Structures are given as C-alpha cells and as structure tokens.
Copies of this chain bind each other. A is one copy, B any other.
Amino acid sequence: MTRLSPTARREEIVAAALRVASVKGLANTTVRDVAAEMGTSSGLIHHYFASMDDVLAAAFDEAAGADLAATTAEMSACAGPIDRLSTFFSSYIRTEDYRGFQMWLDAWAEASRRPALAATSLRLNVAWQRLIATTVADGVAEGVLVCDDPDATAWRVLSLLDGLSLQVAAHPGLLDQSTVADWAMASLETEIGLPRRSLRRPPSKR
C-alpha cells in the first residue's frame, strides 16, 4: 500500500474499523477484518495501536462522538430550551438506528472486558447526559419549565431512551422507533411540567 503519514493512516484505520464494526458489531471486529477492509496487512494496525481494545475504542468514539456532535450542533441552532429538547429527540431517533445502537450494546457488554472501550462509553454517556441536563437547567432558569433535579431528570430520560432502544435493537419487531420516541417524550413532558405532545414535531419536517 502507498505510504501514508501517521495521522492519515491512523484516521484510515479508525474509519475502516468503524465500517467493519457497523456491519459485524464491535465485539466481532478483528484485526484481520480491519486490515482486509483497508487492503493492507494486519501488522500495520499494531504499528499504530497498542491493542485491539484501543482500535475499537477509537472507532466507537468516532461513531458515537459524531452523533453527539451532530445532535449538539442541531440543538444549539434552536431558539429556546423547549425547542432544543424537541430537536434532541428527532435527532436521536434519526441517528440511532438499530444498527448504530448495536454498537452501544456491544460497548456496554464489552466494557467489563475492554478497559479503553469502557472509558470511552462512560465519557460519551456522561456527555449525552450533560447535554440534556444543561438544557433542562436552562429552561428552569428561564422559567419556561419546572424541574427539581435536572441532573436526575437527564439520567432518567437518557436511560429510558437507551432501555427502549435496546429492545428495538435486540428484539426486532417488538417495539418500533417512533413508539420509543413518543414514549420517551411523554415521560419528559410529564417530568418538566409541559403539556402532552408539546415536544412532538410534525413528521412532515423530514
């Protein structure tokens, strides 16, 4: 293969690992898979990453981090906290298709066995939680919504979404994504003292 600069090659490895992982799942992605995807040798991966754990952590960081960044950007383009929360949900269900969510499932399950992956998933989970928590806290400060404990509320709505999405990914046909979003929105609306369906977006927007 053509000789690349260290940074460029590193990025290509992560991109290739991500492509493989999105099809086979994080847990089933091997060094040889990534090498084959790039069309290079397997030894090259170990020249840039100390262990496979680090490769998977970097790939997961790339994927989930991009989703987080995209959602954050969309939300900050909105006017008020309520609109931002509304955008959060529509962004969440768009990015987190059942395929992307399988990566989260693998990351959580593998966390006990792969330290780097555990650190990454922890960091990203906390980042998602803080995104919601600060938005809710802003709404309370502006007086447009009511919440005793924005931190706890953020963990609840995030975990509810995770728990429901998990069923979608693990048990196809049981629940569907629009139901998940609807139920999670209903829960948050109740928690922060908003009338029913006030977070709902007209689906015509897409």
| Cβ–Cβ contact B170 & A155, under 8 A | no
Contact of A109 among B105, B118, B171 (CB under 8 A): B105
Task: Mark out the residues of chain A between 134 and 193 whose CB falls within 8 Å of any chain B CB in the assembled complex.
Answer: 152, 155-156, 158-164, 166-167, 169-171, 174-175, 183, 186-187, 190-191
A113 interface hit (Cβ, 8 Å)? yes
**Bound form: Cα–Cα A175–B105 in Å:** 18
* With A109-B106, A112-B102, A126-B174 as contacts: A156 and B160 at CB distance below 8 Å: yes
A87 interface hit (Cβ, 8 Å)? no
Q: How many copies does the complex hold?
A: 2
A71 interface hit (Cβ, 8 Å)? no
Q: Smallest Cβ distance from A153 to chain B, in angstroms?
A: 9
Q: Smallest Cβ distance from A81 to chain B, in angstroms?
A: 20
| Cβ–Cβ contact B102 & A170, under 8 A | no
A27 interface hit (Cβ, 8 Å)? yes
Residues in A lying within 8 Å of B, measured CB to CB: 25, 27-28, 102, 105-113, 118, 121-122, 125-126, 152, 155-156, 158-164, 166-167, 169-171, 174-175, 183, 186-187, 190-191
